[in-house]
Amino acid sequence: MLQLVPPESLPALIAAVREHFLRVHNKAGHGLFWGAVHRELLDERSFLWVTDCDPVSGCLIVRPEQDSQSGGVSLNVLLASHHGQHGLSEYWPQVEEIAAAIGAQSIIFQSTRKGFGRVAERFGLKPHAVIYRKEL
């Protein structure tokens, strides 16, 4: 069960959350940088949820944001990490509850992993944008 971490408790959990973030980032390469996410958590623009008050077991970082196309609110899932490796599967029901609680009209999740398309379909996620890149 995920629990929202109050801002005053963040400093004690940041190191463990950083480890989850870097592990997932290295696999998925979704373009987020820890420094930016860390600042958002401290500024309360993003929110940390942890499993049973223990970020080593798993954590979720979400950011509510204004949808540029619809003008409504979207919930952007920045990190879903679980010790069992299937963070999104484990946390999806709560992600939907959080989205509903803030009045979000959509949920955004980014991944560059090749197999993510199959996972995304199970949750009703559809491709929204494609980013092309050339390494120099």
115's CB contacts (< 8 A; 6+ apart) are: none
Mean pLDDT in residue range 93-117: 86
3-state secondary structure of 65: strand
Q: What value does the CA radius of gyration of the chain take, rounded to a whole number of Å?
A: 15
Residue 134: band (very low, low, confident or very high) from pLDDT cuts 50, 70, 90: low
pLDDT digits (tens, 9 = 90+) for 8-33: 999 988 888 888 788 777 766 555 68
CA atoms within 13 A on the CB side of 11: 1
pLDDT of the residue at 92? 87
Digit-coded pLDDT (tens) for 44-71: 999 999 887 677 778 889 999 998 777 8
**Whole-structure pTM value:** 0.81
- In the predicted model, what is the mean pLDDT of residues 98-114? 86
